[in-house]
Structure 1
């Protein structure tokens, strides 16, 4: 196979969200609110268990009732995405009710995300080799500012985001849209992601698939470099 394009997932693949504790601290500071240190740590842990930080840990217990349906299809629209994550957040008590929306807004800030250490290097090397690059993400908001802020945007040829199309991975239609945007056939395309179910959906089209470990950035300094060997 001659690889003409590589599709990358966003969260857990090219970028990693900040820790739940850093996330909560930033929001409290912006709002001029505070919690005693032990309570702040406990609250951050509770938010993490709830799965309230998009890009962070999944809920420790499956959402129930109306929240379960929102959660299942959270990446199909911006409204569902916000409702799902603020719904999870509201399971945890905060000093003021408006902080739940503030937490959601914070996770969209470019500063809340850190690129994996080898992301710029790998994307730049693909660009030098003439390999097209696309980003295919299950998400409820525009991640392009994150790429621009961290200097990765010049290496990306197309963004295919679930909420913009009302389709979420592993639905093959999202990968089809990405291949069409890059002008490549699926059999000439490699999909790179951290979620075997969602990102593995590209295999149904005939794309090759490569998985990376969803780890904190400091613990995965070179997890993307094998992509360059796969491309050849």
Structure 2
């Protein structure tokens, strides 16, 4: 393999828990909630899927949000509308908290790399294998990689909202291969979403899936990539 493309959320990094997310925003805004109410609100936010990169909505997407939800990763505006719309299904003490929560999830401190992320990216660099990050997302994740010291290992970022194309559309993977100057047939795509990331197979890429688990429960899920690259 000449190149490896990685998904971002659930593959290289994992977002904080919904409870941690809510606690951080309440602290930043100096709004207090009784502990039982905070736990209730965090669980409700998790159930509706309000945290990008967190749990998928467990119930039906509201009718007014359904059209936006399907194309949420095609622009920054659509992404914010979709997730704040889900968040607003949950009653919070100040309506401004819904946008504050969305803003929080875009900060580097809200994300943690998996334990073997740096090791695997570093090993690929030593082998001369180029790396791209291909993500369905509505905001610029580059600061997350810079803050965690992983940006030097990434040769190209291809983000859906910057191209108006979202996975599994093969054109997004083709854009990544072009940016890296590699043949898709010599490229491995690594992700956690069989539908979205599996779209790379239509282009001729090999595909490998990892489990979307909390950081503490997936200590070495990326290491098989090194064997696949050869």
Does the TM-score normalized on the shorter chain lie above 0.5?
A: yes
Q: How many residues align?
A: 230
Q: Residues 7-18 of structure 1: matches in 2 within 5 Å?
A: 7-18=5-16
- Aligned counterparts of 1:203 and 1:45: Cα–Cα separation in 2: 36
Pairing 1:1-232 to 2, within 5 Å after superposition? 3-232=1-230
* Distance in 2 between residues matched to 1:54 and 1:34, nearest whole Å: 23
Measured in 2, the distance between the counterparts of 1:46 and 1:34 equals: 17
**TM-fit CA distance, 1:136:** 0.1
SS at structure 1 position matched to 2:125: helix
In structure 2, stretches of 5+ residues that fail to align are none
SS at match of 2:65: helix
Q: State how far apart, in whole Å, the 1-side matches of 2:119 and 2:177 are.
A: 23
Name the SS of the counterpart of 1:33 in structure 2: coil
Separation (CA, whole Å) in 2 of partners of 1:69 and 1:88: 13
CA RMSD of aligned residues (A): 0.4
The TM-score with structure 2 as length reference comes to 0.99
Partners in 1 of 2:210 and 2:52 — Cα distance? 19
- For 2:11 and 2:47, how far apart are their aligned partners in 1? 22
Q: Deviations over 1:150-204 (max 9, x none)?
A: 0110000000000000000000000000000000010000000000000000000
Q: What is the alpha-carbon distance in structure 2 between the residues aligned to residue 72 and residue 47 of structure 1?
A: 19
Which ranges in structure 1 are unaligned for 5 or more consecutive residues? none
Question: Equivalent residue of 1:213, what SS?
Answer: coil
Structure 1 residue ranges (4+ consecutive) displaced by more than 2 angstroms after TM superposition: none
The alpha-carbon deviation at position 103 of structure 1 amounts to 0.2
